[in-house]
Structure 1
Amino acid sequence: MTLHGYLAFLTVAVVVALVPGPDFAVVSANTLAGGRRRGWATALGVAGACAVQGVAAAAGLGAFVLRSQPVFLTIKWAGVAYLAYLAALSLRSSWRGTYRPMVAGRAEADPARGLRQGFLSNITNPKVLVFYLAILPQFIGPGSGGLALAGLALTHAAIALLWLGLLVTLMHRASGWLARRRVRRWLDAITGTVLGGFSVALAVEKS
């Protein structure tokens, strides 16, 4: 892979990372609910899932998943159900309107929960695997092996972590405003609606 090809991929990877999607919504929701610690843990979970899917694509497992309709549909519908579940949590929180401060104690931060939710929201999204299998090979030469593909996938995971980490940091700095009850309720309602929309979009998308 040439330097020109790698720089071209970096441009595409940054654009893809910046487009708001389920990962963006989950990180935002967890930062609101548990503060910076849970937000960063969620971002790490997302990046970890990107890395796993990238390595799977490089090892040939990704192509197997796409060829096997039962496996692909299982992952797809697991993603639909999980996004719907996260949407329900946000909408319920908005409806109740009872909140603890964003910067709360260790139990409220619960980084393990954030890590798990970030990982599951990404690993059950088949679009990530499709991206790695369809787009990444365009930037490597025909003689390049799985290592080059894995390297690009890990680069994308690192970019996603940096972007989502920046989002967490900005939200944490605005925590005084975001902690207002009315603002939290609106943000939870928006986040829940967005996650529900992603769940429906994934459900109706043709396999």
Structure 2
Amino acid sequence: MTSAALWGFTVVAVLAVLTPGLDTMLALRHALLGGRRAGFTAVLGITTGCLIWGTASIVGLTALLTASEIAYNVVRVLGAAYLIWLGTSALWKTLPRNRKAEPEDVQIPAGRSAFRAGLMTNLLNPKVGVFYMSLLPQFLPTGPTASAWGALLVAIHLTVGLLWLPSLVWMAGRARAFLQKARVRRWMDRITATVLLGLGVKLAAEV
């Protein structure tokens, strides 16, 4: 692999990570509503999901998503259902009849819940697998070293994410004192719930 190809992939990886998307929204939501620990935990879940997709692409498993319309649609529908479930659950909790008396410093779970949200959102998003499967071959050399170089490219993408997303989480922590207020938190939940529902419906409607 040439240095030009390596730098070319790095630029693409940086642009892909910096473009606001579902990962960014999930990390910020958990950071703003649950604190930095929740945000960092969500980032770990997101990174783990990307790692699984990246590893699968290297061994050729995600080629199935590209070659099989049925397999792609199964993952797509499952991912859409999960996003809609996340959005509906968050929206349901903000309804007046479902709200309990909340102290101003209440937190959302920072452990398994945050990790699971980041992990499952990535695992059930076939676009992540297709991203790796369509992008990596353009930068990989032919021959027995292709797998090793593929692992390096995946590691670069994950490293960029682990530098950018935690930075957003840290910055979000600075604004948390205001955004932690119960009324603001409810509106944050409503906004993110609406976005999740919209993304889920969009993913489900894709042909």
In the superposition, the TM-score normalised over structure 1's length comes to 0.88
The alpha-carbon distance between structure 1 residues 167 and 145, as it changes in their structure 2 partners (threshold 3 A), is same
Aligned residue type for 2:151: A
Aligned equivalents of 1:102 and 1:62: distance in 2? 43
Q: Is contact 2:104-2:182 (8 Å) kept? A: no
Report SS of the residue matched to 1:141.
coil
- Residue 169 of structure 1 is matched in structure 2 by 170
- Residue 185 of structure 1 is matched in structure 2 by 186
The alpha-carbon distance between structure 1 residues 49 and 28, as it changes in their structure 2 partners (threshold 3 A), is same
Q: Is contact 1:94-1:184 (8 Å) kept? A: no
The alpha-carbon distance between structure 1 residues 67 and 100, as it changes in their structure 2 partners (threshold 3 A), is farther
The alpha-carbon distance between structure 1 residues 114 and 197, as it changes in their structure 2 partners (threshold 3 A), is same
- Residue 34 of structure 1 is matched in structure 2 by 34
* 2:82 is the alignment partner of 1:82: yes
Aligned residue type for 1:202: L
- Residue 70 of structure 2 is matched in structure 1 by 70
- Residue 45 of structure 2 is matched in structure 1 by 45
- Residue 153 of structure 1 is matched in structure 2 by 154
* 2:59 is the alignment partner of 1:59: yes
Indicate the larger mover: 162-171 or 67-76. 67-76
For residues 107-136 of structure 1, give each alpha carbon's deviation from its aligned partner in whole angstroms, at most 9, with x where no partner exists.
Answer: x54312111111000111011111101112
Q: Percent identity?
A: 37
1:28 deviation in Å? Answer: 2.3
What RMSD in Å do the two structures reach over aligned CA positions? 2.0
- Residue 141 of structure 1 is matched in structure 2 by 141
Aligned equivalents of 1:197 and 1:131: distance in 2? 21
Q: Is contact 1:53-1:129 (8 Å) kept? A: yes
Q: Is contact 1:102-1:175 (8 Å) kept? A: no
Report SS of the residue matched to 1:29.
helix
1:102 deviation in Å? Answer: 5.2
Aligned equivalents of 1:179 and 1:66: distance in 2? 43
In the superposition, the TM-score normalised over structure 2's length comes to 0.88
Aligned equivalents of 2:93 and 2:170: distance in 1? 22
- Residue 203 of structure 1 is matched in structure 2 by 204
Q: Is contact 1:13-1:159 (8 Å) kept? A: yes
1:146 deviation in Å? Answer: 2.1
The alpha-carbon distance between structure 1 residues 122 and 60, as it changes in their structure 2 partners (threshold 3 A), is same
Q: Report the count of equivalent residues.
A: 203
1:191 deviation in Å? Answer: 0.9
Indicate the larger mover: 121-130 or 93-102. 93-102
Q: Which runs of 5+ in 2 are unaligned?
A: none
Q: Is contact 2:136-2:150 (8 Å) kept? A: yes
Q: Is contact 2:136-2:153 (8 Å) kept? A: yes
The alpha-carbon distance between structure 1 residues 102 and 83, as it changes in their structure 2 partners (threshold 3 A), is farther
The alpha-carbon distance between structure 1 residues 80 and 102, as it changes in their structure 2 partners (threshold 3 A), is farther
- Residue 7 of structure 2 is matched in structure 1 by 7
Indicate the larger mover: 5-14 or 134-143. 134-143
Indicate the larger mover: 126-135 or 175-184. 175-184
Q: Which runs of 5+ in 1 are unaligned?
A: none
